[in-house]
Amino acid sequence: MSSTWISLYFITNLGLTLYNKGVLIHFPFPYTLTALHALCGSLGGRLLVEHGAYRPKRLAFQDEFVLVGFSILYTVNIAVSNLSLGLVTIPFHQVVRAATPMFTMMISYTLLHTRYSSPKLFSLLPVVVGVGFATYGDYYFTAWGLTLTLSGTFLAALKTVVTNILQSTNTGSATSSDLRTVHNSVMLSLRLQMSPLDLLTRMSPLAFIQCAIFAHLSGELQRVRRYSAHEMTAFKMSALLVNGFLAFALNIVSFTANKKVGALSMTVAANVKQVLAIASAIFLFNLSINLVNAIGISLTILGGAAYGYVDYYERQHAGPPKKS
């Protein structure tokens, strides 16, 4: 079942990545596009509630603050990533982002004391190195650009881990040999045990408002108004609506897959998706690559397959990762 969801994640993520590339060429407003994705998540989630697809969980007042904090993390992650792209080259940005699994492991160990086996750690090396080779090109960055890119990578990993925690039904142990009392209390407060659809529906309106604020502060909304008045057509509007629907589908699959396979597997899948997007762009957008790029694509795909095998074997024979 887990393999089915991770496969769906590959398909929907790769599809939206390629579709977004085409949309942003004609609609170059990333904050507004992300706000549209969040709006579609809000409307789609409410529609599913009305049709009985899931039952919203009753949350305590303090739980609502947790959701607000998560939505802020979600939005700031996007904002920092967009800002860093303006200060570094795309190849450098992708190379740094390839380290997301490493950040994920560090955060998981710090927050949850999760330990990973040596075979799993070794299987990550070709995934990370492969992305570096696959995206090899013009590396340029400023000190501020490097800081923002590293911050964005950390935030992306933190968002993935927190998404998993919010949906987790494992409340953990409160013994003195586990987490310290205060730390344990914080972790328990984050485990809202929410279904993926419920979490998506509650988070999306908050993310929409925050993305709209970012778009306004950056001056993007003003440019969108001028664009809508002079260049928007029915075809472009339809393309944006399809894009929003695909984003909603991806979010459902992403949240569900995260709950089933864990945060580290999701970041590895994202790395493999990244090189598959490059491979697809060779055919769809006439992208040219060199031998180093080709080796990187092969390394990442083989590393992803090795990680998947190790993860499957450990789940079948040793259960979930151990905790100290």
The span from the first CA to the last CA of the chain, in angstroms, equals 28
The rounded distance, in Å, linking the Cα atoms of 39 and 20 is 16
Question: Among 68-72, 171-175, 219-223, 310-314, which range has the highest average pLDDT?
Answer: 219-223
Query: 151: which residues sit within 8 A by CB, 6+ positions away?
Result: 80, 84
% of the chain with per-residue pLDDT over 90: 7
Convert the pLDDT of each residue in 183-224 to its tens digit: 555 555 566 778 888 888 888 898 899 989 988 988 999 999
The rounded distance, in Å, linking the Cα atoms of 260 and 225 is 41
Domain boundaries, the chain: 2-317
Q: What is the DSSP letter of 141?
A: B
Confirm if 134 and 296 have CB atoms less than 8 A apart: yes
pLDDT at 178 over 60: no
The rounded distance, in Å, linking the Cα atoms of 100 and 65 is 27
Query: 159: which residues sit within 8 A by CB, 6+ positions away?
Result: 73, 74, 77
Confidence of residue 1 (pLDDT cuts 50, 70, 90): low
Convert the pLDDT of each residue in 38-64 to its tens digit: 899 899 988 988 888 888 888 887 888
Dihedral sign of CA atoms 247, 249, 250, 256 in order: positive
The rounded distance, in Å, linking the Cα atoms of 307 and 75 is 30
Confirm if 300 and 194 have CB atoms less than 8 A apart: no
Give the bridge partners for 323, in sequence order.
Answer: 114
Confirm if 266 and 42 have CB atoms less than 8 A apart: no
Helix (H, G, I), strand (E, B) or coil at 135: coil
Query: 8: which residues sit within 8 A by CB, 6+ positions away?
Result: 253, 257
Alpha helix (H) residue ranges in 86-174? 90-97, 100-112, 118-134, 143-167
More confident residue, 180 or 242: 242
Dihedral sign of CA atoms 106, 107, 108, 113 in order: positive
% of the chain with per-residue pLDDT over 70: 85
Convert the pLDDT of each residue in 277-308 to its tens digit: 777 766 666 667 778 888 888 888 888 888 88
Could you give the angle at the alpha carbon of 76 between the alpha carbons of 73 and 78, nearest 5°?
110
Query: 278: which residues sit within 8 A by CB, 6+ positions away?
Result: 134, 135, 287, 289, 293, 297
Confirm if 136 and 296 have CB atoms less than 8 A apart: yes
pLDDT at 172 over 50: no
Query: 163: which residues sit within 8 A by CB, 6+ positions away?
Result: 70, 199, 255, 258, 263
The rounded distance, in Å, linking the Cα atoms of 56 and 204 is 14
